[in-house]
Amino acid sequence: MRTLYATGDPAKLGAAVDATASEGRALVSELPGFRGMGLFVDRELGKLFTATWWDDEKSRQDSDEQLRERRAVELAPFAQTAAVDNWEAAVARPPRSVGPGAWFRLARLEFDPADTDRLANFFRDVALPRLDALPGFEGGSLLVDRAKGRASVGVVWSDRDALAASRAGVAAIRGEATAQARVITRSIEEFEVVFAGVAPPS
């Protein structure tokens, strides 16, 4: 997976969202190995987050060369900062398709690289089943950077009420992850979903 996190003037966010949702989405969907994309925004603070899914690492690398220049065009003049990260999808149950009205929570984690498999096992065997039992759960994934000991957990909820209602349950899961998977939570953010959808493996 590749993620993009951009920040800027909230008043200029709308144009960047429109460009990413139209031209950007059309362009990326034509590239070999593309599986899906999510676009998430915080309109109040001026944040834009995208995630793209690929069949394999080669497809992701090849796409980056074709999209790098176009990405800057789509984000101008909104983006004052932009960070691109590449990840392994260690455990994934992404949503098939959701749109406006859905919400997204992103947690950033750090851990000892030696504990990567411990974290992946915890998310697959403990966290994901418990998330799935919460009302409004639409999908969730654990993305890892094994070399750097970093991870992102993204979970999509059917609407803002479900997102809010899930906070206590998700906090309890994070507490267990701290103890059992030996992770540190660095940040938690919540975003409005513009769209998100990932095709199942062929």
Average pLDDT over residues 17-32: 94
Q: What is the pLDDT of residue 202?
A: 62
Cα–Cα separations (whole angstroms), residue 189 to 5, 39, 56, 146, 153: 12, 14, 28, 22, 11
User: What's the whole-number mean pLDDT along residues 70-76?
Assistant: 87
Residue 41: per-residue pLDDT:
98
**18 Cβ neighbours under 8 A, 6+ residues apart:** none
Query: What band does 200 get if pLDDT is binned at 50, 70 and 90?
Result: confident
Using one digit for the tens of pLDDT, what is the confidence trace for 140-173?
A: 999 999 999 999 999 999 999 999 999 999 999 9
Q: pLDDT grade, residue 77 (50/70/90)?
A: very high
Strand partners, 102: 100
Residue with tokens 């993305």: 143
